[in-house]
A and B are shown apart, each in its own frame.
Chain A
């Protein structure tokens, strides 16, 4: 009982330190984004667009009171000057960095050029927010399936290390490193959507989508299957390899031999003695793979026309919509940092050794 508070303290300290690194990531990305926006004149263009928008409203208001066109133009010009001063457009871009940073942080990036949210809104934040759950649904499902399959296959291979199956899967997991997600997706579309025609080639719902309830959910699952399979196939190799290696390393430890000598059933040895110890290093390896799987998700969504954040990147690039690209870059980093921190919490609870004392 006496030690409980100190353990909690060290836990908090460890998490705070990890959190600090992740905060650093966020700040570096923010700085990178903000400085490139300023130095390339993008923030000027955004602000000018905002001012033009405001002036249009002012002109309508003024036109009711001022009849003379020359006077109206003059009044507008002075208003414009005031606004430019207000937004800091009269000074070089680096004076406006804090303001731009705040805009990026709050996703207040004005209106998209041609992209619209499903409710018709042109605001960048509206377009983005509706897409987040779609990407999360795809990625979490795929990660969940990969985790279960990876653990199962990895353990199975570790118990048969050196067998033909083991070597085959090891080679295949090495090969999956060289396999890009988008090409995998194209192959699946070509086979299952073009030649066999059992799955749709893309999208999230059929057109028109079936009316509510079970049929709608089934339609969703039917569309999600190929993208999920793609994501699972490209990440499974790394999982299997890591689980197998870590389980093999742990299985050679003395305490495992002792456990077996005590006559414990093999299932208990595997679960309580091997997997429990191998879990933290497995997690570390997979945490490091997270940055890569974000890239995989972006490309998979693009290939399957899945209307999430990844596909939005492609659409924003095609439409040359800078605001959306800025917002996406920041949001992806934010989501990554959040996911990473969750895993850190998980990791620290799993492995008491990493806590600072």
Chain B
């Protein structure tokens, strides 16, 4: 059957059309991800907690606030100040304004510095907050580490890993806030009592009950530096006001942006499915044709091995081999491909047996065609549509098997997959805490991807089964 005819039949059915559209979408997203994500996304980004430190933990997606949920938006404020030109004088490096609408204060406040350079003496940095009621809180002070013995200037600090202070928990920040409350509101409080209420205190006024009433308005965060020499510079200052919601898909318990992890899963899932399916279909068809056409002892050996391999419970063997040989994705693919071909070989053989006794084969043989030519030109082309349908049908099996394996904690850490995201959610108790945004989307994506291939297989049914074609 010509490829065009196969396509026509596929496109004429509703499920085939839906499947093709879904598949194009999957391929498109995968291509975008491959082009825009770094190669080492798994190890350097996804499994690197430092990279996600400034994100809120276990936060639902931002759009949930549109559905009536309360919450705070996540805000990241970044500035790249110019190098200081005057020495011995305090200069404002950056100033951020934050409009607080209330009632819920940000979930955390963090402050980071990167690439600090100084000529002689370390600069001193301060963070002050001006509140809507006109009062100013000197919230934080940081002295950049001085020269080490034997080191020569200019000195560079925080070049590779930025300095990060989580002000919500930083003892000196809590201390500063406590003294601010004592001075301005006469509230006798201790840093211990302020623990966990830092944001509420900063963005509110104390009530007689000992709580804090939100104080809406514009807050100005000013970062100043006392530089000793001209040329002292701070590469980047960054202030994060943690939200209670985050991004399109929320975050997990480490603050990782789930949208990015899920996106990365697209090309990975497609590759697992398609590569496994290609290899096992190739082996299965090859051996099936040989088994059916050659017959005799070769046939018996191939069929008996099929019987045995086809009867091996896959998941236990997969768990065992991956556990013993190491958690590598290519190993998973290789094992799945190795155990995946027998079913196809059995069916291909029975089809070849029918074709072998047909007139076409007899005619080509009498024309002097070689065995290989008959097997892999004339017979293969007759069963090609069936093989194609089988290949598509087998694709989700590998995706589902990998997801199951990852769910058992045997995923390849260097390549995040949907199954792994789900497993981490399950293991950290996201299911019992009701973090639906963490466990539903990866599962839904696995099901949708598997369903795409099932739909295409359904659409291809008339190609494989001619009886269905006539009734149409």
Interface residues of A (CB under 8 A from B): 21-22, 24-25, 28-29, 32-33, 36-37, 40, 42, 174-175, 177-180, 182-183, 186-187, 189-190, 193-195, 201, 288, 291-292, 294-295, 298-299, 302-303, 313-314, 317-318, 322, 325-326, 328-329, 332-333, 336-337, 340
- B409 on interface, CB distance cutoff 8 Å: yes
Look across to chain B and name the residue whose beta carbon is closest to the beta carbon of A318.
Answer: B409
Contact B313 A322 (CB under 8 A): no
Give chain B interface residues in 5-31, CB to chain A under 8 Å: none
> Nearest A residue to B434 by beta-carbon distance?
A194
| A24 in contact with B307 given A175-B451, A177-B454, A180-B400 (CB within 8 Å) | yes
Residues of B with C-beta under 8 A to A37: 324
Partner of A313, one of B319, B401, B458: B319
User: Can you give 10 contacting A-B residue pairs, CB < 8 Å?
Assistant: A28-B309, A29-B312, A36-B321, A175-B454, A178-B400, A178-B450, A179-B450, A294-B316, A317-B410, A333-B312
Residues A294 and B408 in contact, CB atoms below 8 Å apart: no
Binds A, one of B80-88, B230-238, B241-249, B439-447: B439-447
Q: Are B443 and A190 in contact (CB under 8 A)?
A: no
Given known A178-B450, A303-B426, contact A317–B432 (CB-CB < 8 A): no
Which residues in A have their C-beta under 8 angstroms from that of B434? 190, 194-195
> Which of B308, B396, B450 has the largest number of chain A CB atoms within 10 A?
B308
Q: Are A182 and B316 in contact (CB under 8 A)?
A: no
Instruction: Say which residue of A22, A178, A298, A328 sits within 8 Å of B451 (CB atoms).
Output: A178
Instruction: Verify if B323 is at the interface (C-beta below 8 Å from A).
Output: yes
Q: In the complex the two chains form, is A336's CB within 8 Å of B313's CB? A: yes
A178-B451, A179-B447, A180-B404 are known contacts. Are A326 and B432 too (CB-CB below 8 A)?
Answer: no
* Known pairs A40-B324, A299-B408; A332 contacts B316 (CB<8 A): yes
Provide the bound-state CA to CA distance between A11 and B327, in Å: 46
Report the minimum CB–CB distance from B13 to chain A (whole Å): 12
Sorting the interface of chain B by its residue count into under 10, 10 to 19, 20 to 34 or 35 or more gives 35 or more
Asked if A201 contacts B431 (CB within 8 A), the reply is yes
List the B side residues contacting A295 at CB < 8 Å.
Answer: 313-315, 401, 404
Q: Is the CB of B304 within 8 A of A21?
A: yes
Which residue of chain A has the shortest Cβ distance to B396 in the bound complex? A178
Contact B313 A317 (CB under 8 A): no
Is B315 a contact partner of A294 (Cβ separation < 8 A)? Answer: yes
**What B residues does A40 contact at CB under 8 A?**
324-325
A291 to B: closest C-beta gap in Å: 5
The one of A182, A193, A302, A336 that contacts B432, using a Cβ cutoff of 8 Å: A193
Residues in chain B near residue A292, CB distance under 8 A: 314
> Which residues of the partner chain B approach A186 to less than 8 Å between Cβ atoms?
422, 426, 431, 439, 443
Select one of A32, A190, A317 contacting B431, CB under 8 A: A190
Q: Is the CB of A177 within 8 A of B323?
A: no
Would B304 and A299 count as touching, CB distance under 8 A?
no
Kindly list chain A residues whose C-beta atoms are within 8 Å of the C-beta of B323.
317, 322, 325
User: Bound complex: CA of A25 vs CA of B314, how far in Å?
Assistant: 12
Question: Is the CB–CB distance between A36 and B324 below 8 Å?
Answer: yes
- Asked if residues A178 and B447 are in contact (CB atoms below 8 Å), the reply is yes
* B436 within 8 Å of A (CB atoms): yes
9 other A-B residue contacts (CB within 8 Å) besides A32-B321, A36-B321, A201-B431: A37-B324, A180-B447, A190-B434, A190-B439, A194-B432, A194-B433, A303-B426, A313-B408, A322-B324
Q: Which of B316, B432, B446 contacts A329 (CB 8 A)?
A: B316
Docked Cα-Cα span, A201 to B446, in Å, equals 23
Interface centre among A36, A295, A332 (most CB of B within 10 A): A295
Residues of B within 8 A of A178 (CB): 396, 400, 447, 450-451, 454
Closest 5 CB pairs of A and B: A178-B450, A295-B315, A183-B443, A329-B320, A332-B316
Question: Is the Cβ of A36 less than 8 Å from the Cβ of B320?
Answer: yes
Given the interface pairs A186-B439, A190-B436, the reply to whether A302 lies near B407 with Cβ below 8 Å is yes
Q: Is A201 a contact partner of B432 (Cβ separation < 8 A)?
A: yes
Instruction: Determine whether the beta carbon of A174 is less than 8 Å from that of B454.
Output: yes
CB distance from A106 to the nearest CB of B (A): 18
Nearest residue (CB) in B for A292 is B314
- Is B270 positioned at the interface, with any CB of A under 8 Å from its CB? no
Give the docked Cα–Cα distance between A22 and B310 (Å): 10
In Å, the complex CA distance between A182 and B439 comes to: 11
Complex CA–CA separation, A37 to B314 (angstroms): 18
Which of B309, B315, B396, B458 has the largest count of A CB atoms less than 10 A from its CB? B315
Q: How would residues 307 to 345 of chain B score, 1 for a CB under 8 Å from any chain A CB and 0 otherwise?
A: 111111111110111011100000000000000000000
B403 CB-CB contact with A under 8 Å: yes
Which residue of A is nearest B458, CB measured? A174
Tell me which residues across on chain A come within 8 A of B304, comparing CB atoms. Answer: 21, 24
Known contacts: A28-B308, A36-B325, A177-B454. The answer to whether A329 contacts B317 by CB under 8 A is yes
Q: List the B side residues contacting A22 at CB < 8 Å.
A: 311
CA distance A318 to B426 in the complex (A): 13
Instruction: Please give the distance in Å from B179's CB to the nearest CB on chain A.
Output: 44
State whether A21 touches B308 (Cβ < 8 A): yes
- Check if B447 sits within 8 Å of A333, measured CB to CB: no
Closest residue of chain B to A294, judged by CB?
A: B313
**Inter-chain contact B312/A25, CB cutoff 8 Å:** yes
Closest CB-CB distance, B392 to chain A, in whole Å?
13
